């Protein structure tokens, strides 16, 4: 499992990895900036321009709001990054998986490509599941705040591992074959997903995880299921 990760880490210099990374960073930053601007603008509608405090006198709420909301958004990015990272991974998985296969598994024939509709359906469906699961988990974070990091890693490790492996496996085994493979290796997939979820809680570092996650699970899939890749997948569309 760690060997899978270090193989993926060693390929970060690949131009296709970097292309996906830059696209992901651009999309992620655009989303976070949009949320930040909308948040500050909305608060500005209901708050006065200045407030008067003893000793300090008049203080511009605009400046205080901008600084305070910036740090709030940095904190929220820990939770926002999980669904955002997963969503962009779904859209760009093919590029990462192909780069890994070209370098490490050149004997494989080209994998059938999923239709855009299937890819969109899977990605949006999983994004919704991640958001709902993390909103529900917020209650547990508040009730069991000491255990909040463990809950976060366990929950998102399960969800991310499940989705990453499914997206990789479906390229080679088809939809039903991918589900069967996921069931065969569920504990290993959960552990690998948890290892991916831990860095997702670190701002900026989490920007690397979708690419590394897709690459790591490509290696993991080949290690666990490579022997089955002797016939073309059925029902891959």
Residue 52's H or E segment, with its range, is strand 50-53
Average pLDDT of the chain is 77
So what's the pLDDT on residue 17? 83
End-to-end CA distance of the chain: 29
Is 87 a residue whose pLDDT tops 60? Answer: yes
So what's the pLDDT on residue 230? 53
So what's the pLDDT on residue 218? 92
So what's the pLDDT on residue 185? 92
pTM: 0.72
Kindly state the average pLDDT of the residues 102-107.
Answer: 88
Residue pLDDT, tens place only, 13-54:
888 888 887 877 777 677 777 777 777 777 767 665 665 656
3-state secondary structure 36-82: HHHHHHHHHHHCCCEEEECCCEEEEHHHHHHHHHHHHHHHHHHHHHH
Per residue in 16-55, is it b (16+ CB within 10 Å) or e — as a string? bbeebbeebeebbeebbeeebeeebeeeeeeeeeeeeeee
Residue pLDDT, tens place only, 48-79:
566 565 655 566 656 666 666 666 666 666 66
């Amino acid at each position: 499992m760690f060997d899978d990760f270090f193989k993926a880490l060693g390929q970060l210099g690949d131009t296709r990895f970097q292309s996906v990374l830059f696209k992901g960073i651009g999309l992620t930053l655009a989303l976070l900036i949009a949320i930040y601007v909308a948040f500050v603008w909305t608060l500005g509608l209901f708050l006065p321009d200045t407030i008067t405090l003893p000793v300090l006198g008049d203080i511009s709420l605009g400046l205080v709001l901008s600084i305070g909301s910036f740090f709030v958004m940095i904190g929220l990015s820990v939770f926002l990054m999980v669904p955002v990272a997963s969503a962009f991974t779904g859209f760009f998985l093919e590029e990462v998986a192909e780069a890994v296969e070209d370098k490490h598994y050149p004997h494989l024939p080209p994998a059938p490509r999923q239709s855009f509709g299937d890819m969109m359906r899977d990605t949006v469906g999983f994004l919704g599941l991640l958001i709902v699961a993390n909103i529900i988990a917020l209650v547990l974070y508040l009730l069991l705040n000491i255990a909040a990091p463990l809950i976060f890693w366990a929950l998102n490790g399960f969800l991310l591992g499940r989705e990453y492996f499914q997206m990789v496996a479906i390229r080679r085994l088809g939809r039903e074959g991918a589900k069967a493979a996921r069931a065969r290796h569920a504990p290993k997939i959960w552990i690998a997903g948890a290892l991916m979820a831990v860095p997702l809680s670190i701002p900026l570092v989490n920007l690397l995880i979708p690419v590394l996650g897709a690459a790591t699970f490509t290696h993991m899939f080949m290690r666990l299921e490579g022997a089955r890749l002797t016939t073309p997948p059925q029902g891959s569309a």
